[in-house]
Chain A
Amino acid sequence: MTIEINNLYKKFGKNQVLKGVDLTIGKGHIYAVLGPNGSGKTTLIKSILGMVIPDKGDISILEKSIKKDWRYRKQINYLPQIANFPPNIKVKELLHMIKDLRNSPSEEETLIALFGLEPFLSKKLSTLSGGTKQKVNIVLTFMFDSPLIILDEPTTGLDPKALICLKGLIQNEKAKGKTILITSHIMQFVEEMADEVLYLLEGEIYFKGTIRQLMEQTGQHDFEHAIAALTTTESHDENS
């Protein structure tokens, strides 16, 4: 198992965000973490990354508990939702810096060429547009070879060409047997990429399975409606 989560609880102030999440994530698939706003997606991902410290429960990554450890993050590539970098640093300095901090082999040249970032390498990060920053962010995420990749809203600000490149990259990594977690609000993207869907609702895993299973369960014929139906089926059942 790549990720194993047992009985995870997290509360922010009075707001109980995660209410006993149990989850096992196997190797070599693309998982989409979905759910309405405020359902705990980001909290779940940040707990896996050790950025949020859970109140109760434990998380193991590659069969090792992550409590009070930080070395396990070497096994994870993470793409944060909003890329905001130190403004006075140039793109190539940032790449160099992250390489230096991680201290592992990287292959940024092909990625830079893929996204056409060469002209921006000597520019300061504060002068880049949102989409270009996101491309830099993607390069930073994919340049290391780690068994687990977590992408939080990877499509934000990307033009169609870059989006195609990104999809290719994700498929490529999957072919190498890596586990990939994605959150996105773009259902078309999820439908195209994900093998399995994890649907979070009010701090619990409400549904886990393939897209086909989801459609069968909800009786819908297209994915977007199936997702929408997931949230309403319960009330629907009660009414009928």
Chain B
Amino acid sequence: MMKILKYSFYDLIRSRWSYVYFLFYLTLGFVLLFLNNDVSKAVITLMNVIIVLIPLIGTIFGVMYYYNSREFTELLLAQPIKRSSIFMGQYFGVAGSLTLSLVLGLGIPFGLYGLLRSNAIFDFSLLLVTGAFLTFIFVGLSFVIAIANENKIKGFGYAVLLWLFLAVVYDGLFLMSLIVFEEYPLDTFSLVATMLNPIDLSRILILLKLDISALLGYTGAIFKKFFGTDLGFLVSMAILFLWTVLPILGLRHKARRKDF
């Protein structure tokens, strides 16, 4: 698996899109710091951007990579390599190179700005860790969708729909159900509903750490009340981890049965 990972990663970090993605974060980091002139505020703005953007980029990159390397995957399948190693290697290659773009793209401007001397360093690292989780989760989900759909356009469509659902529609439905059922106790419901969406979960995880009550919202407040800041942090981290593992298991399962 490590060999496939190495080559996928190597292939990707030399592609134009990795640089575009890297440069985008680099610019975003510099612009935010220049406009805000404050690391903590920049982290919050950044959170709002990357929490929607990372899943989108992860989804699109994942699907694109899978379909583009299909013939090459077939070549690899005829080699004496275990099937799951091929797909795991490609998955970690894509997710790894995207995470590298994110970490370097944001790390460089913040590092230059004097992040290491500011006390926002932990908030900032948490932002990057969450970003990495979201990248791995959405690349994994998009790989599962792509492997389950022979048809490129269908696969692409489903993947983008999944992103749209989790990033936008989910919140709307959630809010609506809160209004409709406002006469009932909704604590457990909103707790579970938040855990079922990795994007919402990441948002709450970062806000809990930043300790900004004003931005927490209803679900965040419940999270905080229910678990407390520290336990809430650990629980949401654990669930994010679970969210990362599930697509990987799904991918392995699908890869084992698929015909090429």
Contacts and interface: CB of A to CB of B under 8 A. Distances in A.
B80 A102 contact: yes
A97 B75 CA distance: 12
Given A52-B259, A97-B7, A82 B71 contact: yes
A78 B74 CA distance: 10
Contacts of A74: 80
Interface residues of B, number: 26
Contacts of A49: 77-78
Which of A12, A51, A74, A82 is most buried by chain B, counting CB atoms within 10 A of its CB? A51
Contacts of B71: 80, 82-85
Interface in B68-87: 69-72, 74-83
A88 interface: yes
Given A74-B80, A88-B11, A80 B74 contact: yes
Contacts of A102: 79-80
A50 B77 contact: yes
Nearest to B77: A51
Given A12-B259, A52-B259, A53-B259, A86 B72 contact: yes
B12 to A, nearest CB: 8
Interface in A59-83: 70-74, 76, 78, 80, 82-83
B257 interface: yes
A70 B259 contact: no
B181 interface: no
A80 B75 contact: yes
Contacts of B74: 51, 80
A238 interface: no
Contacts of A89: 7, 10-11
B14 interface: yes
A76 B81 contact: no
A46 interface: yes
A216 interface: no
A89 B258 CA distance: 27
A234 interface: no
Interface string B239-260: 0000000000000000001111
A17 B3 CA distance: 35
Contacts of B15: 88
A101 interface: yes
A80 B79 CA distance: 11
Q: Tell me which of A49, A86, A88, A100 has the highest count of chain B C-beta atoms within 10 A of its own C-beta.
A: A86
Contact of B80 (A53, A70, A84, A88): A70
Interface in B156-199: none
Contacts of B259: 12, 46, 51-53
Interface residues of A, number: 28
Given A74-B80, A101-B81, A84 B72 contact: yes
A51 B260 contact: yes
A50 B14 CA distance: 32
Interface string B1-23: 00110010011101100000000
B75 A70 contact: no
Contacts of B80: 70-74, 102
Contacts of B70: 84
B8 to A, nearest CB: 8
Given A49-B78, A101-B76, A86 B83 contact: no
B40 to A, nearest CB: 39
Contacts of A71: 80
A80 B78 CA distance: 9
Contacts of A84: 70-72
Interface string A30-52: 00000000000000001001111
A98 interface: yes
Contact of B69 (A82, A86, A97): A86
B81 A46 contact: no
A88 B14 CA distance: 7
Given A83-B71, A85-B72, A88-B14, A70 B78 contact: no
A86 B4 CA distance: 12
Which one of B3, B69, B78, B257 has the greatest number of beta carbons of chain A within 10 Å?
B78
24 contacts: A12-B259, A46-B259, A49-B78, A51-B77, A51-B78, A51-B259, A51-B260, A53-B259, A73-B80, A73-B81, A74-B80, A80-B71, A80-B78, A82-B71, A83-B71, A83-B75, A84-B71, A84-B72, A86-B69, A86-B72, A88-B12, A88-B14, A97-B3, A97-B7
Closest 9 CB pairs of A and B: A84-B71, A78-B78, A74-B80, A73-B80, A51-B260, A52-B259, A88-B14, A86-B11, A51-B77
